[in-house]
Amino acid sequence: MLCKKLHHAAFRCADAKETVDFYTQILGLKFSHAMGEDHVPSTGKYSPHVHIFLEMEDGSNIAFFECPLDEGEKSGRDPSTPGWIQHFAFEVQDVPTLMNAKLELQAKGLNVVGPTNHDDFITSIYFFDPSGHRLELTARTCHDTVRLQQFVDEAPEVLALWDKTHDWSQRHTVFGAASGYERPQA
C-alpha cells in the first residue's frame, strides 16, 4: 500500500500559542515542530504564518496554521458546514480510559458531550478546542473479528443505499430497523 499511515492533518487556528498550550496541557500531545514563512512555500502567496505540529504516541500529528492576515474564519471552519462534521478523532486505549478522560476534561472546565455509542463499533466523547475545532476521543468497542468483518462486508451495501436514496427511509433493509443498528439475522 502506498500510504503507510497519517503523518498529519492540518487546520487553521486562531492563536498558535493557545493551541499548543491546549493540546499539550489538556490532551498531553507532544509539541514536535514549528516552522513559519512570509510566503507559502508551495504557492508563493504572501501569507505570513506559523505552522505547528502536535505529535501523538504513534508518531502521527495534528497540525495547525496561524495566519492572521488571511481572510476567513480564524478556525478555518466553513461556517455553512454543520459544526459536528469537521473534527479530529483521537483513539484512546479503552472505554474506561475514555470515561476517565471525560471526568478529567470536565474538571478542567470543558463541556463534554457523551459518551455516544456508534453502532457498537466505537464509543466517543466530544468537546471543543480554543479555536472552535470539535474534538472526539474514541475507544474501539468491537473486538470480535466476525463482527468487524461484517462491518467491512456491509459497507458497500450501506453506501449503495445512501447513494440511491440520500436519506435513511429504507435503512431497515440494511440495519433491520428504522433506527438503531440491529442487523437482520442471516
pLDDT digits (tens, 9 = 90+) for 110-145: 999 999 999 888 999 999 999 989 999 999 999 999
Output the pLDDT for position 186.
Answer: 55
Q: From 13, 135, 150, select the one nearest 70 (Cα to Cα).
A: 13
pLDDT digits (tens, 9 = 90+) for 42-62: 888 889 899 999 999 999 999
Beta strand 8-12 with 61-66 is: parallel
Residue 140 burial (C-beta neighbours within 10 Å; 0-12, 13-18, 19+): middle
Whole-angstrom Cα distance, residue 169 to residue 158? 13
Q: What predicted TM-score, i.e. pTM, was given to this entire model?
A: 0.84
Output the pLDDT for position 24.
Answer: 96
Output the pLDDT for position 136.
Answer: 95
Residue 125 burial (C-beta neighbours within 10 Å; 0-12, 13-18, 19+): buried
Whole-angstrom Cα distance, residue 77 to residue 58? 27
pLDDT band at 1 (very low <50, low <70, confident <90, very high): confident
Output the pLDDT for position 61.
Answer: 94
The sign of the dihedral angle between the CA atoms of 10, 16, 22, 25 is: positive
